[in-house]
Structure 1
């Protein structure tokens, strides 16, 4: 097997290194979607690479192992045994991380839904902790917004309108799904953790821009984002879901500037990375099939 099987791992590093550069230009919505899609492709490709590497350990199992000492039969040795073993363990660890992340998100969603019955898409919980979060609905049901009395006391009427518009944007654009896919990719391949963090930031910026458009005042939005984001920093349900007040300073700074213009050319790089991953994994799979035929 050639270097093609390792290419998805190398491209994951490239995507992680370029994620912030991509996020800093153009509108946040297309960047969030593109980064998430390419991260998912990269994670799937790198996991498949690990699986192919791990499967090369099959030549150490009977009856193939018995042929190693056969004088007239020489089986191809694709990768060293330790490399295949490490690949198998890495794939197993990725599966465990993915399961833990899915369970944590499911538990958090369940706890948020139990906070109260929504009326006109809103639940106001009598909690002192400042919190505003979009709660996804169950399959076939609409989600709702959850705000606490703590956050309502902190903000004035206009700022509340901004926060509600911000959270409604999370719900309307299914940001929880985008963040969950990026988190799943990072669970399978930890090299993609910077991409996961960048996507979490981008969906916040996306919701900020939607709120600014809804209220028609970027300065008011910046003020509300600053107060709400700083108040809700730290561990909690929103942080557990990856949709929270991270990078508040950068978000506020972006809102003090004009509305960003689309720059789709910046997405050419991620698309090329995804195409490279797909091509590499096809080549690696063809090589593994040829190897398996030689064994059999």
Structure 2
């Protein structure tokens, strides 16, 4: 079996340094979308290679066997077939991957349905009488528009300016469609668990992007940083991390208080290390797909 098989499954390793670098970028929205797209491409590449390995089970079909013998008799060199045991194991792995992906998609669908079932929003806002301090952007579903759900506990916790920051943050999630960006990263991680750190990085970047929008809306970065910390502490003490807040609060606060601490070059030029890592990932992915397309075509009859 070619060495590119394990390489295709380990491609996420190349994305991990890129995820760490992007966490401090000064352009979180752009980085979130790029990293999510890279995760999807990487997961798709690995899955495609597994599909092609599983497809070599077809080399037992009489037409394929006859073609292979005929090709060898003409002096054509064919790649060594992958053992059936390996191909069967890969087929089972693909079934497991499909189950994980379906479970992730179903979980997100159920969460969105539950949030919509809480009530109907007026314009874009729904206030519910819950003690727990929560705020979350509810994605659109089945023709119903997306909206912001905020609890009475959250409103009591904050002063008017802090409330404005929270609402601007959640509205930014809707306007940038972060529910799609994070869903793509989560789907990629469901396909390949090595992408879990990349999924976390995409989530952090989406939060930071919304923080930046909130800071522009209230014209006070320190107020937003203070609100992020305040809500995160309240959510932690209440045992919840849904929506505003979370385990990456320190990074978010630091990015708001020290907006120029990132590694991005002046003038918006990209970090060369990130460019090199991205190029390496694309090159390896292309090599993997080319290798297995050649393998697959070699074991199929041409007529």
Aligned with 1:177 (options 177, 180, 187): 180
The 1-side partners of 2:172 and 2:67 are apart by 62
Quote how far apart the aligned CAs of 1:141 are: 4.4
- Bigger mean CA deviation after superposition, 166-175 or 279-288: 279-288
Aligned position for 2:294:
286
Mapped pair 1:40 → 2:40: yes
Q: How does 1:37-186 map to 2 (within 5 A)?
A: 37-60=37-60, 77-138=80-141, 140-186=143-189
Aligned with 2:270 (options 248, 258, 264): 264
Structure 2 vs 1, CA of residues 111 and 96 (structure 1 numbering), >3 Å: closer, same or farther? same
Aligned position for 2:284:
276
The 2-side partners of 1:85 and 1:220 are apart by 57
- Bigger mean CA deviation after superposition, 138-147 or 54-63: 54-63
Do 2:232 and 2:241's aligned partners in 1 also have CA atoms closer than 8 Å? no
Q: Deviations over 1:80-121 (max 9, x none)?
A: 334323322221111101111111111110111111111121
Quote how far apart the aligned CAs of 1:8 are: 2.2
Structure 2 vs 1, CA of residues 237 and 96 (structure 1 numbering), >3 Å: closer, same or farther? farther
Do 1:54 and 1:88's aligned partners in 2 also have CA atoms closer than 8 Å? yes
Structure 2 vs 1, CA of residues 292 and 136 (structure 1 numbering), >3 Å: closer, same or farther? same
SS in 2 for 1:109: helix
Aligned position for 1:251:
252
Structure 2 vs 1, CA of residues 149 and 181 (structure 1 numbering), >3 Å: closer, same or farther? same
Do 1:51 and 1:88's aligned partners in 2 also have CA atoms closer than 8 Å? yes
Aligned position for 1:238:
242
Do 2:127 and 2:152's aligned partners in 1 also have CA atoms closer than 8 Å? yes
- Structure 2 residue runs without a partner (length 5+): none
Q: What is the alpha-carbon root mean square deviation over aligned residues?
A: 2.9
Aligned length: 289
Quote how far apart the aligned CAs of 1:193 are: 1.1
The 1-side partners of 2:194 and 2:216 are apart by 35
The 1-side partners of 2:5 and 2:254 are apart by 42
The 1-side partners of 2:43 and 2:239 are apart by 27
Quote how far apart the aligned CAs of 1:237 are: 8.6
Q: Deviations over 1:15-49 (max 9, x none)?
A: 13431123223321111111100111111110011
Question: What is the TM-score of this pair, normalised by structure 2?
Answer: 0.85
Quote how far apart the aligned CAs of 1:194 are: 1.0
Question: What is the TM-score of this pair, normalised by structure 1?
Answer: 0.86
Quote how far apart the aligned CAs of 1:214 are: 1.1
- Structure 1 residue runs without a partner (length 5+): none
Aligned with 2:192 (options 189, 194, 199): 189
- Bigger mean CA deviation after superposition, 230-239 or 96-105: 230-239
